[in-house]
Amino acid sequence: MTEDTAPKRSAWQSFMRLPRVLRLTTYLSIALVLLLVAGLVVFVVLARRPLPQTSGTLELPGLEAEVEVVRDEHGIPQLYGDSVPDLMRAQGYVHAQERFFEMDVRRHATAGRLAELFGEDALESDLYVRTMGWRRVAERELALIKPDTRAALEAYADGVNAFLAVSSPSEIALEYTVLNAGGLDYRPEDWTAVDSLAWLKAMAWDLRGNMVEEIDRVLTTDAVGAERAAELYPPYPFADHAPIVGQGAVVDGVFEQDATTGGTRNPQRPPFTAAQREPFARLQAGLDRMPSWLGSGEGVGSNSWVVDGAHSATGEPLLANDPHLGVGLPGVWMQMGLHCRDVSAACPLDVAGVTFSGVPGVIIGHNADIAWGFTNLGPDVTDLYVERVEGDTWRYDGKARPLQVRTETIEVAGADDVEVTVRATRHGPLLSDVDDVLADVADLAPVERPPGADDTAEDAGEYAVSLAWTALQPSTTADAILALNLATDWDSFHAAIADFAVPAQNIVYADRSGHIGYQASGRVPIRKSGNDGVLPSAGWRPENDWTGEYVPYDGLPNVLDPEEGFVVTANQAVIDDEDYPYFLTGDWDLGYRSERIRTRVVEAGELSVEEMLTLQLDDLNPMAPVLTPYLLDVRLRRGYASGGQRLLRDWDFRQGADSGAAAYYNVTWRNLLELTFHDELPEETWPEGGQRWMAVMEQLLDEPTSPWWDDVTTETEVETRDDIIRAALLAARNELTSRQSPNPDDWSWGALHRLQLRSATLGESGIGVVERMFNRGGWEVAGGNAIVNATGWDAAEGYGVVWAPSVRMVVSLGDFDDSRWVNLTGVSGHPFSEHYTDQTDVWADGETLPWLFGRDAVVDAGADTLTLVPADAD
């Protein structure tokens, strides 16, 4: 029988003729593959289960009429309804659809309950928040806000809870599936109005002013002495960098933009008190001793500017804003529009912009009449007090006073509950009870100790540090959000911002009538004569207290239709404080960004929408023209050593992602800071490389034998400026050779300066497969510190992006549909949604998306429409 005529064996017969061991191995392999496929199917189902329904019809209890949710191709929702309560309820529902886990984490954080979800790793944060009592303050605020605001908060909460009522944890967020798989057994509780109010405390904490600066001043002074520490804190350069408001003065407690001299027109009225003038006078007179710290800390700044019709190619105002915040997933903002179908007194809402998930209304954006943008004002709204504590009492004005004491219990997942005793003085809670650094500050702070005390427990008692902070007093900031959304002109805008207490903000303004303006907002304390807010104060001395009064709102700088025809805010000084009677802060941003924007606006004459967007991407490094000549003056051996210098010779000082010169410059800059300062400063205060350190280094470059250049770890040598610069250049050459290539032509800034977006919760779990589900990264980006395109990095840590423009927007008042915007991430908080980071590529490429506002344009661009209907509808 030939091969062709032999009977064919089936595959099964051939398989059965294999040895038994091989057949068993094959069985196991097939089973494993089937298990993997089944597991993958289950995973895909679980990962996609929380994705929201975006089309068709859903019932929403409590609605009076239908609400349409029109989403564009990026998932950005625009809501259309017939009443403000309906729109608030629908906003709560849509926020919960897309981002409830984020909302839930935020409310746990602001209540000091993160450990309930994440165990002992979150305990430190909970101790801090419980000690400050954020939730307790928010509960008191609920009784203060206006009835309309409370109604909006309650309607919003009803919408959130309607979503929770019909959703299991696995249908709400993938994070709950992962946490419950680990044994958490958790189901979210209902949302409340207080949950929304508490989130505003978290934003206020991020933008709180100079508390960190007070701590660092103490640590720096302890390390190098007051005189040398003063060299690290240059004052604001008013002669070189213009403040936000360049005209006006305070007259009889009211800021008048056309006034040329402050004071009073009524001689019978008392002038400002010494307590109001003294902080500023002390600050200016003692700059060498107690100098100002520059800026509120990188990562909490922003850019905004507005130009009038004479400076706009459209003939109508243009407004730009890009708030700079820390990077992570999901991004802090969710874009959204809230529109009454027929705008009237009964239903006046017609607004679009960026929102906080968990808070009703639009935070930054425009309505049908006005537009507004925020940057951090950064006033000094926090003070640290060194307190003398004796048992259950604290010393004040020569007497023992009882401490305010309460006990709280923190539940900890996977561990025993933790009981915390919170202590407070009249100034505020004792944060040193939960913060070791502050405990050190209590002992190191240069305050005048009690007479005769030698700092021992028997003589002076226990020293502790308390925090006075404006946000720990209830306020009506929530009222301002709704009122701002409904404002129609400058007067109603100005009235709305009066309630914006914390965090204090610079707010730029434009309207459809062609007006532009600026208003400083926020609650800024007036201090007594003994306290300048620069360093911690002795809490036992009454002259160091706050007066209990705040800078009057009418006295805060503001301007309508300024003489220049534009307003620029980028966290610089608000006004030249030589004639301004109130102390706001000495810790302004130095103004590198603001001055660059001003220069570009003046040079342009007229700006188009596209040119406004291009200016947001400006990546000129303000320090590079100053430092680069020094880097080139130091002679290095030809060849390998000088390879990086070659790139700097023709560099235009811009920090594009593909720039090799920018890479070499920044690596040199980081090494220069390390070699100059790390040997003498405590690690907590090592240079992060931003605006303040640029100013410090600019001064030191003119002092080649300054003691700062000397490396104190070398016993037999005294290094000079050129020694340290040479060492930094060579270290940078070696570092880039190791990191990227021996060939300088292959270097690029973007390869070092990458944007990594990480979830602050499960993205930091330490479990690789879990982290990969929630984190995204690897974008190579342009920009850097103190640059208009503010993709900041921390020189003490590395080159990766740690803060960035969280959203970029330009509003065209001539035609809202010509406006543009882009989010750092996307609208969704679900990691397997196509809208999780779908805007990041656009953002990283320097592009934007259409920001449509008119209903016809929105509907035409709509990709999905969901109709929310009353629960009893047919």
Closest CA to 390 of 378, 377, 382, 399: 399
Place of tokens 């209590």: 442
Residue 381 near residue 501 (C-beta atoms within 8 A): no
Please tell me which residue in 83, 167, 296, 302 is annotated as part of the active site.
Answer: 302
Beta strand 382-390 with 537-538 is parallel
Centre a 10 Å sphere on the Cβ of residue 167 and count the other Cβ atoms it contains. Answer: 18
Tell me whether residue 383 is annotated as binding: yes
Q: Is the peptide bond before 330 cis (omega within 30 degrees of 0)?
A: yes
Q: Say how far apart CA 660 and CA 490 lie, in whole Å.
A: 48
Contacts of 259 (CB under 8 A, 6+ apart): 248, 249, 250, 251
Contacts of 712 (CB under 8 A, 6+ apart): 679, 680
Closest CA to 724 of 808, 627, 794: 627
Contacts of 666 (CB under 8 A, 6+ apart): 655, 749, 752, 753, 784, 799
Q: What are phi and psi of 654, to 5 degrees?
A: -95, 150
Q: Say how far apart CA 580 and CA 280 lie, in whole Å.
A: 9
Amino acid of residue 77: P
Q: How far is CA 579 from CA 246, 280, 422, 730, in A?
A: 12, 10, 42, 49
Class of residue 44 by CB neighbours under 10 A (exposed 0-12, middle 13-18, buried 19+): exposed
Residue 348 near residue 84 (C-beta atoms within 8 A): yes
Q: Is 241 helix (H, G, I), strand (E, B) or coil?
A: coil
Closest CA to 203 of 308, 44, 355, 78: 355
| CA pseudo-torsion sign 681, 218, 126, 420 | positive
For residue 563, give the DSSP letter: T
Q: Say how far apart CA 466 and CA 263 lie, in whole Å.
A: 35
Q: Say how far apart CA 773 and CA 832 lie, in whole Å.
A: 8
Q: Say how far apart CA 429 and CA 445 lie, in whole Å.
A: 18
Question: What is the separation of C-alpha 734 from the centre of its chain, rounded to a whole number of angstroms?
Answer: 35
Centre a 10 Å sphere on the Cβ of residue 252 and count the other Cβ atoms it contains. Answer: 14
Beta strand 864-869 with 56-59 is parallel
Query: Which residues does residue 365 pair with via DSSP β-bridges, in sequence order?
Result: 353, 372
Place of tokens 């969710």: 334
Q: Is 208 helix (H, G, I), strand (E, B) or coil?
A: coil
Residue 82 near residue 342 (C-beta atoms within 8 A): yes
Closest CA to 297 of 696, 568, 691: 691
Tell me whether residue 595 is annotated as binding: no
Residue 51 near residue 832 (C-beta atoms within 8 A): yes
Extended strands (E) in 21-82? 56-59, 67-71, 77-81
Question: What is the separation of C-alpha 578 from the centre of its chain, rounded to a whole number of angstroms?
Answer: 30
Q: Say how far apart CA 121 and CA 395 lie, in whole Å.
A: 35
Closest CA to 189 of 241, 111, 299, 266: 111
Q: Say how far apart CA 801 and CA 655 lie, in whole Å.
A: 13
Residue 209 near residue 533 (C-beta atoms within 8 A): no
Q: Is 688 helix (H, G, I), strand (E, B) or coil?
A: coil
Residue 302 annotated in active site: yes
Query: Which residues does residue 641 pair with via DSSP β-bridges, in sequence order?
Result: none
Binding site residues for Ca(2+), as ranges? 214, 380, 383
The residues annotated as belonging to the active site are 302
Binding site residues, as ranges? 214, 380, 383
